[in-house]
Structure 1
């Protein structure tokens, strides 16, 4: 069961729904969404494209969408584009890129668009919907899987289960591989590190249509910039990743005071039998960020011969969605949700291998490695008008985690933030060009609810700016795939290498063909730094 699944499932605590009011009140909170959520125009649209640009954009390609607008998971980034193309081959990617070059249009690559600041599209640009590039090929002998950039982790897990598991991925499975590589995502495996650590190689199409292979040994400079490079250096066509045995784990949990977390994690890190770990912090008002539930998954030799059940989808989606949405409404339901996780939820965990003998205050559940991350979080999606859910993530030096949490708590109370979820994971040092972790860090992931109004957006911008300043004061960095509620000065304080990153982008893509809303917002502030000499390319080939 994933970290979000654990947090959001309130077990049997929602049976007494009378406290929620009438059925008419409750039904929309549990209802399945009818499609992509439309928050309305909470943030003003960018100016429309000139008529000539619109006319030219509707020419030759096999558009999956002509003109119009695109949005991301925030529901707050609606942006006009020349159109969307969904390629299914290298040739179609090359054709789309050639079309954009001929007409001077920016190009971006998108997967499921769960970045929340327009990192997957550019105003007036051609968006490549890479989900058509989703082939999966497992090599059992060398323990790798080669996948198209648009393949999701859900599909990869289904293809390699029950014998193998993903080495490094996000804590839920909805994301595309290309998107995860472009942000260098990380997950529950504190030993494996982020996605970069499991990458054998990438196939990338450059702005001129040339296809190159990049890895730590081949075109290594390009590799370091593409991983965590937000699609600005080339189009990821496919990736070859390590896979690992699909070990059987015993799930364990412990309640601690948040101040005990550093020493608790030190014990976890010193135990090689623990393969996955994460922490949930209390979102209940009285114990806000003070109580911490530590989840670990332990490998024992005697369990490895047990049969792994087929992967299954998460059940009780409507109940889970109701639990989440009620918790956004008031402090009573926030407290009830946290109590449910502490007291009830582990008793309802789906044990895909078997349930072991009693351990501690609950029962140990045996699961395969793939199971905790095989969650498409359908219960997080809704059609509720006037509100949306926003992700934040902050990386702080491990010795600073306690004062950082204290500072967050003060900000949340002062600004009356509607916090739905808070978790901690560990990350190692990441050596890509724009690294969120130049030293080992703890990652704090926040899930916040906001109204889709001008006032709601202003409040979120104020909170985000304050959290970024707090993180920087403690020597940390904030994750860049989210809303653009920060200044260039805050960006360079957290990422002093950002100027060099943008200069390298201009070296690899001198015409600025690859772009997105994030780049358009921040790159101009660093345009004076000269581009460096581009390294020589090896194993280049024209697009087929």
Structure 2
């Protein structure tokens, strides 16, 4: 009898373990390709009447459809051009002009707000324009607009590091410039601050240089201009020494963050910083883990290990995807970040003393930013993850988070990650931060169906209104769940920006879904 009970127990445990494994395997599985969870729109018919004098572009795809990283925006296009050189761009623009088609330049297509393509348009896949040339004497790197930050870091390491980039390295330089992206370096500011010059192909095929001193007005509109003024061909960027940092972390109340950051900002030795907010239901957005990287001057001569990829991809993916399933796993994920993750951190600077420095870890500047977040890509077709970002005045962060927490609880939001970064005043034409601000970045999970989209639209609208009440602005590269009135209220300089776009591109050659949706409405508001 005892043996029978033991066999039953073992069988139950084995079944439970097997069931858990079957449940977990899809959550940890590698994706087989780009996720596509939207319904397919009717394809465009093939173009007819091609003038014989107009050369065909270097097509990678004729007609068909295209999607972005959200997987929710499948759109029919005239075709995708594989750009290998500047002549490919010129030929594609000539073709589009002849056929009265719009042109959109695209990289990794992580802009989910309609900036990566337009229905019926010609899409330039810029990823082949990816040359990288380092000039150690001038501390600059000249890069094709299709080069990724990941490739740039590999090319300039170990002597130099990127000055300003997004917090992960998967994006192309052209994409980052088109949104004026920012990251972990609170001292250097957004990408705009590290640009020496840009080379741009205009709508008439001319190539011009734009910088703070040459075509300065165009420069201010191209940076953060969402590709509406021309095709960015290349950029000359500043690089900085690949300093050695000691990683530090502290757990604080979110209410103390402004004071904590003021101390960080006043300390010139801290080169990088970011903050994660709690996603655990019991302490939702109330606890904050502040990460800082402090320069260690005495260790600058130490050898830097080669840049490595983030390890344990499947385990990290499983942890993230489990946290989307219920409150228990959300709490477990936050507990692990507070108590476990930092003990597993890879210390990439070999130094015996580090073993005696408690939890201290030495890394080169490139290391914290060398993350392609492969663990965030999954093979789950019925759901997707969406980014939001809100820029709030630094003295209004706490009430904004309080309002956000109330909305999340009211609407049962599936929050995967929330972080805070700091930005200075950005002086480009369509600035998300006319004054210094704190950026609140949200990573949200939603069902990939009509109900999920409707719920996300409601949340987005409510968060934009909340941000507006606190005197802030919302970031434009995310889903188009806002009204024209909300857009103009957040960006009152938009009518002037659009007028300047028409001056540089009078025939409207460059376009995207965002521009097609909002430009006519904004112009109507202005003239009505």
Measured against the shorter chain, the TM-score band is over 0.9
Q: Secondary structure at the match of 1:53?
A: coil
Question: Larger Cα Rg: Structure 1 or Structure 2?
Answer: 2
Distance 2:374 2:117 in 1: 24
In structure 1, distance between residues paired with 2:334 and 2:18: 17
In 1, Cα distance between equivalents of 2:38 and 2:388: 22
For 1:499, the equivalent position in structure 2 comes to 495
2:58/2:88 contact within 8 Å kept = no
Among 28, 31, 42, the alignment partner of 1:30 is 28
Q: Name the structure 1 match of 2:436.
A: 440
Tell me how far 1:332 sits from its aligned partner.
0.3
3-state SS, counterpart of residue 359 of structure 2: strand
Structure 1 unaligned spans of 5+: 1-16, 532-544
2:224 to 223, 228, 248: 228
Q: Give the TM-score taking structure 2 as reference length.
A: 0.94
SS of the equivalent of 1:25 reads helix
Per-residue deviation, residues 402-447 of structure 1 (Å, max 9, x unmatched): 0000000000000000000000000000000000000000000000
User: Partners in 2 of 1:198 and 1:133 — Cα distance?
Assistant: 20
1:294 aligns with 2:294: no
Could you report, residue by residue, the CA deviation over 1:469-505 in whole angstroms, capped at 9, with x for unpaired residues?
A: 0000000000000000000000011000111111111
Output aligned runs, 1:58-73, within 5 Å: 60-73=56-69
Q: CA deviation at 1:53?
A: 3.4
What SS is found at the alignment partner of 1:394? strand
CA distance in 1, matches of 2:386, 2:218: 31
Mapped partners of 1:76, 1:513: distance in 2 = 25
Separation (CA, whole Å) in 1 of partners of 2:344 and 2:126: 37
2:252 aligned with 1:256: yes
Provide the rounded CA distance (Å) in 2 between the counterparts of 1:18 and 1:394.
43
Q: Are the equivalent residues in 1 in contact too, given 2:460–2:482 (CA < 8 A)?
A: yes
- Distance (Å, rounded) in 2 between the aligned partners of 1:66 and 1:101: 17
Tell me, in whole angstroms, the C-alpha distance in 1 between the residues paired with 2:226 and 2:362.
Answer: 37
Give runs of aligned pairs for residues 282-431 of structure 1, distance below 5 A. 282-354=278-350, 356-357=354-355, 363-431=359-427
Report the number of matched residues. Answer: 509
CA contact (8 A) 2:56 2:91 kept: no
Distance in 2, matches of 1:36 and 1:326, equals: 21
After TM superposition, the runs of 4+ consecutive aligned structure 1 residues lying more than 2 A away are 17-22, 51-62, 526-531
Matched, 1:53 2:47: yes
Report deviation, 1:118: 2.0
The secondary structure found in structure 1 opposite 2:438 is: strand
| SS of residue in 2 equivalent to 1:464 | helix
Q: Tell me: higher relative CO, structure 1 or 2? Use CA pairs within 8 A at least 6 residues apart.
A: 1
- 8 Å CA contact 1:396–1:475 kept in 2: the answer is yes
Partner deviation per Cα, 1:355-385 (whole Å, 9 max, x = no partner): 62555xx511100000000011111111112
RMSD over aligned Cα atoms: 1.8
C-alpha distance in structure 1 between counterparts of 2:138 and 2:393, whole Å = 35
